[in-house]
Chains A and B, each alone.
Chain A
Amino acid sequence: MSETQPIAAKLRKSGILIILGLLVEALTLVWNHPLAFIAFIGISGLLMAIGILLYLWALVSHSTQKSAR
């Protein structure tokens, strides 16, 4: 587990952000209103983008640390 600890925290954060983004997206899909589109782009899109970028950053930083060792 010690090997996964630094990346585990980032994966958790990333996962939680993406889950929140997906839940907001699901809510906007059942709400037929122009504001639903704004919520989809502005809230869901933002949460998912941050979550995905955090995951990619976790991958890159983890592999960089491994190669430095």
Chain B
Amino acid sequence: MPTAVVLVLLAITVAFIVVIVARPEVTLARGGKILAFLALFILPVFGGLLGLENHIERSKQTSFCLSCHIMGDYGRSLHVDDPSYIPAAHYQNNRVPHDEACYTCHTDYTLYTGGIKAKFRGLHHIYAQYLGKPDHPVKLYTPYNNRECLHCHLGARSFEQGAVHNADPQIMANIKSNKLSCVSSGCHDMVHNVANLDKAKFWSPAQ
């Protein structure tokens, strides 16, 4: 739901609550009791859930991920002028939406799936960013899952009929079962490669 709509709902809720706070005697009447129940229970719970949904949706934005200083180089790597850089090639050719570039390929990241343990990892990131010392370079907690590639490439002609993918019947089965990683050495192994960004040439959309 758009942020403006949530803000309007919050403003309406505040207005109702102000009536209860200013004149609590209105709750003596049946209508007042209903108003109090709406204003002090139903609407705040609903507004809180809408706010939570809004925050979770916003955290999928590229700008959200890149707002942490340590992620800056990963953002820069999307602009490398070299099609062998997988994230850059996807970003620059609109294979991933620009405003959700990180989330599109990292759908399993902390906040979205993974249970309580993953949520604590998310809190650890906040701690590391503002109070601690973040690992540099950052590392994935688990090996990159082929599911992130296959949710788009599965069924695509370039993937299904790719010469290397079909060189041996076992290769395709291993890719689809996540036994052989798409980003294995010798395959699509040029990912963000932030250690070598200093030597990279960058693409600018304005060119």
Interface residues on A, range: 35 or more
Cα–Cα distance between A45 and B44 once the two chains are bound (Å): 10
When the two chains form their complex, are residues B24 and A8 in contact, meaning their CB atoms are under 8 A apart? yes
Contact B27 A26 (CB under 8 A): no
B14 and A19 contacting across the interface, CB-CB below 8 Å: yes
Q: Contacts of A44 on B, CB cut-off 8 Å?
A: 48, 51
Given contacts A11-B36, A40-B51, contact A34 B129 (CB under 8 A): yes
Do B68 and A28 touch (CB < 8 A)?
no
If the complex has contacts A25-B48, A29-B51, are A11 and B13 also in contact, measured as CB distance less than 8 A? Answer: no
B28's partner among A4, A18, A21 (CB-CB below 8 A) is: A4
Residues facing A in B67-112 (CB within 8 A) are: 67-68
For residues 1 through 57 of chain A, which have their beta carbon under 8 Å from a beta carbon of chain B?
1, 3-4, 7-8, 11-12, 14-16, 18-19, 21-23, 25-26, 28-30, 32-38, 40, 44-45, 48, 51-52, 55-56
Q: Is B177 positioned at the interface, with any CB of A under 8 Å from its CB?
A: no
Interface check B153, CB cutoff 8 A: no
Q: Which residues of B contact A40 (CB under 8 A)?
A: 51-52, 55
Number of interface residues of B (CB under 8 A): 38
Contact between B54 and A29, CB atoms less than 8 A apart:
yes
In Å, the complex CA distance between A40 and B47 comes to 12
Residues of chain A at the chain B interface (Cβ within 8 Å): 1, 3-4, 7-8, 11-12, 14-16, 18-19, 21-23, 25-26, 28-30, 32-38, 40, 44-45, 48, 51-52, 55-56
Q: CB within 8 Å of A: which residues of B?
A: 3, 6-7, 10-11, 13-14, 17-18, 20-21, 24-25, 27-28, 36, 39-41, 44-45, 47-48, 51-52, 54-55, 58-59, 61, 63-64, 67-68, 125-126, 129-130
Provide 24 A-B residue pairs closer than 8 Å at the C-beta atoms, listed in order of the A residue.
A1-B25, A4-B25, A4-B28, A8-B24, A8-B27, A15-B17, A15-B18, A15-B39, A18-B40, A19-B17, A21-B48, A22-B17, A25-B48, A25-B51, A28-B55, A30-B3, A34-B64, A34-B125, A38-B126, A40-B51, A40-B55, A51-B44, A52-B40, A55-B41
